[in-house]
Structure 1
Amino acid sequence: MVPLHLVAGHLGTGKTTVLRNLLAALPDERIGLVVNDFGTAELDAGALAAAEVRSISGACLCCTAPAGFAAAVKELLDAGVSRIFVEPTGIARPADLVDTLRRLPWRERFDLRPLIVVVDPERLDDVRKAQAEIADILVVNRTDLASAGSLAATSAWVSGLWPGPARVIATAFGEVPASILDPVPVPAFRPVPRPTPDETWSARTWTWPPETVLARRALLGALRERGLERAKGIVHTDEGFSALELAGGTIHEAATGWRRDSRLDAIARDPAALDALGAVLARAVVTEEASVGLEIVHADGRVVAWTPEALAAIPGGLDDVGTAVPGRTGPAAPISGLLGDAEGLAVAVAADGYVSEPTAVDVLKTGYVAYDLAPEQGGPLRLLLPPGTGSSCANVKSVVRIAVRPDTGVPRATSGSGR
């Protein structure tokens, strides 16, 4: 398989310099390079001379141009390159790129290597931290220009990451060893600390490969009702990857960019509680089923199923969605008719397991569900938002579910009967 490397980082972190140095270390290889249209401007002619370059113009790889990104990767594979590098824009979400790559029908033709994320310790705000949390290899660049306080703050932040990167490299001028291109093991699981040093506590750990999906509602119910003292994990659910922590009888939940695996650690006084949790987790694994409609999961747990015929009967539908979303055709139902008086945030789930970023329900209500599309057009159902909403990442092909959650901030907390 062809090694494929994602090199991510915000503008000004030096990720292009890191990439240039890596290309220089591979003079005997035929390199494929996928960049956004302005990415090649900073790569010198020598670095590009032996590379097959595919430039994605006018769009972010993870949001508005995933189809172009997928096509570019396939073109490079067909061209016979020995290695592929992908440099997205600074605002790209690496997790979305990983999700896109894992869903490709030619996934077996490349080996997705450790994700490299470059950060600048002097410019490490919450947005940049969120992008870097998925890093397998975290490159802390520009250390020569950083203050001692910024370096200490960055070190403290890295130490607190859970599960955290497999490797951290502090450097200047983008100088990194070529060994960062090699595979790395998944970081070891750090178990939940015991509430007291009492030896009567029982503990258990479950792990799943990243492609295994668990039903979120079943998972939350199991954590809430199984007599557990504490639990912590990151799990790929049917509503996206979630970081979960049970403490003091409350489940704290937050979206996460972690994509390497799913893992859950739990402790309880009674080992039978862990046995019961394991049985529920086994039943919560989602099997792929053909969908013939759209599920709306409301914040109170209600699930309403809509068939294409029911969608066609919703008032305010369009005979041609192209009048609201240029470039698309076919009949469509207004999402406002599906969500009613719902508020907060929602995620859209595709048939292949892709989950969009949380989007404001009020924004989704401006969009439509096209319900009579061929599979090659993203059908049979496709969620579409008009231009100018600022949420192009919610335009989900083959959508099968929209799940609403209260907008309580991040992290989210649920307790009581809830969902």
Structure 2
Amino acid sequence: MEAADNISAVPTTLITGFFGVGKTTTLRSLIERKPEDEKWAILVNEFGEVGIDGALLENLSGDGVQIREIVGGCLCCTANVPMRVAVTEILRRTRPDRLLIEPTGIGHPAGLIDELRSDGLADAIDLRAVICLVDPRLIHDARIQEAAVFRDQVAIADVLIAGKADLAGEDDIARFREWARNLFPPKSHIAVAAEGNIDYRFLDLAPGRYAVGAEGGHRHNPAETEVQRRSSGSHQFERIQSAGDEYHGCGWVFGPDFIFDQGAIADCLGPPGLPGIEAAGAALRAKGVFRVGGDWILLNRTGAECTVGDIAYRRDSRIEVIVPNGVTADWDRLERALLECLKS
């Protein structure tokens, strides 16, 4: 990155979430716990022209903390030049040990992550696990659930935290945990925090590369799990087989360098049958996220019903198929069919 000479791999964390979930309060809590010998850079984005969050953090600036506020726009827009300039400038001026970014509450973080991973910025930063805060009292509010930005923020997160837990009841927290555990793709960590006091260690988590069915997945207590490292040409991927609770299944996790053809993958996993599965419609579930060029899609199949839509998730491509015990599944054949869907 020419504008940030000799700066590389600065640990960088995005803290996302809808309006009013406590992102700025969380930043304050983290800054107050900053090691004295570290320099931090904080980039705060507000959609409106009147910056409020920066003012709330202003008294924490200095003493190893540099805060830069961008107002009147959205950091999350694809190819956002002001964002690139802001990141470059704050890295060059501060030369920080850590960079924290708080996008606006109505920002779609996928575009921001794509930009941070692009040429010129990717070498300057080390993008860590994405943290998303939600209000556990509102997650089942239809107006929130219908908001595309809320769904995108949740989908792209590695760590999902119920903020404002001090204002929520026990039932709210229980419903949050149940909802979070059933999200797909699963989260690497699900947590609860009061007054912005999230676990400091979340800042050092790598983006989740965990097996299908990890914490937050839909299955409970699988009897057996087998993880295999496999390859396609020079590219590595994981295959995870599991069995238990009267079902067995197989999942695959492909790095972001695997790019699939959307039409081919929809034909492969859609009705009437799945390659290698004993009978058409036998799959209890086939659910996956795939990178298809610059976009990412979510494919969700239950029985003979299959839907395909956009998703903000950006970490990897992954697919899981689960069938009842007694149904024969040739996972090798299904794997070959998946690899045939890669773009050449």
**Relative to structure 1, is the Cα distance of residues 237 and 192 closer, same or farther in structure 2, using a 3 angstrom cutoff?**
farther
Per the alignment, residue 233 of structure 2 pairs with: none
Q: For residues 198 and 166 of structure 1, do their structure 2 counterparts lie closer, same or farther at Cα, with a shift above 3 Å needed?
A: closer
Correspondence for 1:187 among 210, 217, 224: 210
Q: Is the 8 A contact 1:36 1:87 kept in 2?
A: yes
Report whether the alignment pairs 1:167 with 2:189: yes
Which secondary structure state, in structure 1, belongs to the residue aligned with residue 176 of structure 2?
Answer: helix
* 1:96 to partner: Cα distance: 2.3
Q: 1:108 and 2:123 equivalent? A: yes
RMSD: 2.9
- 1:6 matched to which residue of 2? 14
Matching residue within 214, 233, 249 for 2:260: 214
Q: TM-score, normalised by structure 2?
A: 0.73
1:52-63 equivalences under 5 Å are: 52-63=66-77
**1:98 is aligned to 2:113:** yes
1:22 aligns with 2:30: yes
Q: Secondary structure at the residue paired with 1:43? A: helix
Say yes or no: does 1:73 pair with 2:87.
yes
Alpha-carbon separation, structure 2, partners of 1:121 and 1:186: 26
Contact 2:40 2:66 in 1 (8 A): yes
User: Structure 1 residue 22: deviation in Å?
Assistant: 1.0
Unaligned runs of 5+ in 2: 1-8, 220-241
Does 1:35 find its partner at 2:49? no
The reply on whether 1:46 has 2:66 as its aligned counterpart is no
Distance 2:174 2:107 in 1: 27
Matched to 1:50, the amino acid is: G
Q: Indicate how the Cα distance of structure 1 residues 120 and 48 shifts in structure 2: closer, same or farther if over 3 A, else same.
A: farther
> How far is the alpha carbon of 1:58 from its aligned partner?
0.9
Residues 233, 243 of structure 1: 8 Å contact kept: yes
Deviations 1:317-348 (A, max 9, x none): xxxxxxxxxxxxxxxxxxxxxxxxxxxxxxxx
Cα distance, 1:183 vs structure 2: 1.6
SS of 1:107's partner is: coil
Q: Deviations over 1:238-257 (max 9, x none)?
A: 36222222332232223323
The DSSP-based 3-state class of the residue aligned with 2:123 is helix
CA 1:103/1:259 → structure 2, altered by over 3 Å: closer, same or farther?
Answer: same
Moved more, 184-193 or 161-170: 184-193
Pairing 1:123–2:138 present: yes
**CA displacement, residues 191-231 of structure 1 (integer Å, 9 cap, x when unaligned):** 998999889x7x54322112422111011111236444322
1:371 — aligned with what?
Answer: none
Instruction: Write the deviation string for residues 91-139 of structure 1: whole angstroms up to 9, x where unpaired.
Output: 1122222122122433122110111111111232313354223222222
* Distance (Å, rounded) in 1 between the aligned partners of 2:85 and 2:343: 29
CA contact (8 A) 1:192 1:265 kept: no
TM-score, normalising length: structure 1:
0.61
Alpha-carbon displacement from aligned partner over 1:250-298 (angstroms, at most 9, x marks no partner) = 32223323222111123675555x44433333233235xxxxxxxxxxx
CA contact (8 A) 1:23 1:47 kept: no
CA offset at residue 56 of structure 1?
2.2
Tell me which of 156, 162, 166 is aligned to 1:140.
Answer: 162
Structure with larger RCO (C-alpha < 8 A, sep 6+): 2
- TM-superposed CA distance for 1:155, in Å, is 2.1
Counterpart amino acid of 1:254?
A: G
Preserved CA contact (<8 Å) 1:205 1:265: yes
- Separation (CA, whole Å) in 2 of partners of 1:81 and 1:246: 45
Aligned length: 284
Which of residues 261, 265, 281 is equivalent to 2:320? 265
Q: CA deviation at 1:175?
A: 1.1
Hey, what's the Cα distance between the residues in 1 that align with 2:14 and 2:252?
Answer: 28
Does the aligned pair in 2 maintain the 1:210–1:260 contact within 8 Å? yes
Task: Tell me the distance in 2 between the aligned counterparts of 1:61 and 1:226.
Answer: 41
Give the deviation of 1:77 after TM superposition. 3.0
Partner of 1:155: 177
2:318 partner amino acid: R
